Amino acid sequence: MRLSILKYAVILLASANFIGCKKNNDSTSNVPTMDAFIKAEPTLTMFLKATDKAGLESFKTGPGPFTWFAPNNDAFIAASITDDSLNRMTPGQINFLMLYNLVNASLNGGNMIAINSAPRSTQLGTSYSIYFGSVNSETYINGSKIVSRDNAVLNGYVHILNRLNIPPVLKGNIQTILASTGQHTLFIQALTKAGVWTNLGSASVFTVFAPNDAAMTAAGYNSVAIAAATGASLTALTTAMRYHYILNIRLFTNDLIRTSLPSTAAGSSFYITPSENGTKVKGKNNPAAVSILKPDNLGTNGVVHILEAVLKP
């Protein structure tokens, strides 16, 4: 009798193990490969084309774990990348761009919680970091909100973004970004006159709020007035220009959702107030909040946010 009970117990245990294995196998079979996931996602047709041309099959099918921050079709369009321009890019160029959107680790939303945006090296190496942050249960990469999070694939995760993250080295430093817009000649002139333009080309880190030429003109900072500034007017100009950047930190739009920011380079009593979910900021003496026209321009030494008006200290 004891032997029969023992044999029955062994049979039950073996059956349980078989059922458990079957459940695990079924669970695994329900998780798609990375390639199958993006082929089934209609918003990722451009991303699929880009990763195919970049020759990234080993990352799609390899053991990983990998985490992809996949720009959707709207993100490519917003970055002025079309099917035609993808065709004209070399595999090496696309490879460099796509590897900046790949992390050699398994990261879900819970792994990317940060009060201020925190760096994480990409597949390009430690010199090519992305910056993730979280606010109100939403996750952001370089200021871009993840629109579809935690899509599990066999070798990691795919998170879908509405913005294409571009390696900062392709944009250059803050000076290069401002000089390339064609809309910041007066801001650059004022920064130069104030003796702080050189700072923004250094290896230090900055967050810059950059009013465009129309905003500078509306505030009375035309080319003649900037050139003529001396004495008290130059002191005021210098304070105003230093009020437009924050030292030693990269602040993306998700970081501007918070109630307070560090003091600006103008001094410990000069603060900018964020408002309206990171889309606006307000100077101490601005009658109303100022819209950010083009946010999160990430360069090698910081972030530039382009403003519609001058901030008033």
Indicate if the pLDDT at residue 16 is higher than 80: no
From residue 101, give the alpha-carbon distance in Å to each of 29, 125, 161: 26, 12, 10
pLDDT at residue 25 is higher than 50? no
Say what the pTM is. 0.87
Average pLDDT over residues 110-136: 91
Rounded mean pLDDT of 144-166?
A: 95
Which tens digit of pLDDT belongs to each residue from 250-281?
A: 999 999 987 679 999 999 999 999 988 889 99
pLDDT beyond 50 at 199: yes
Rounded percentage of the chain residues whose pLDDT exceeds 90: 81
158 by Cβ neighbours in 10 Å (0-12 / 13-18 / 19+) ranks as buried
- pLDDT at residue 18 tops 60: no
**What is the structure's pLDDT at 258?**
73
CA distance 306 to 304: 6
pLDDT tens across 225-248, in order?
999 999 999 999 999 999 999 999
Beta bridge partners of 146: 161
β pairing state of 66-71 and 156-161: parallel
- pLDDT of 115 reads 77
Of 61-70, 96-105, 175-184, 256-265, which gets the smallest average pLDDT?
256-265
pLDDT of 15 above 60: no
45 pLDDT more than 90: yes
Query: What SS3 state is found at 25?
Result: helix
| Token pair listed for 260 | 């307070």
Confidence of residue 29 (pLDDT cuts 50, 70, 90): low
Residue 28 pLDDT class (50, 70, 90 cuts): low
Q: Residue 22: is it exposed, middle or buried by C-beta count within 10 angstroms (0-12/13-18/19+)?
A: exposed
The token duo for 49 is 């084309």
In the block, tokens 């939403």 appear at 138
- The pLDDT mean for the chain works out to 90
* pLDDT value for 277: 83
User: Residue-wise over 77-102: b if at least 16 C-beta within 10 A, else e?
Assistant: eebebeeeebeebeeeebbbbbbbbb
**How do residues 77-116 score in pLDDT, each as one tens digit?**
999 999 999 999 999 999 999 999 999 999 998 889 887 8
With a cut of 50, say whether residue 125 has pLDDT above it.
yes
| Bridge-based pairing state of the strands 290-299 and 144-153 | unpaired
Q: What span, in angstroms and rounded, lies between the C-alpha atoms of 123 and 168?
A: 14
The residue among 176 and 3 whose pLDDT is bigger is 176
**What does the pLDDT read at residue 12?**
37
Q: How far is it, in rounded angstroms, from Cα 234 to Cα 255?
A: 32
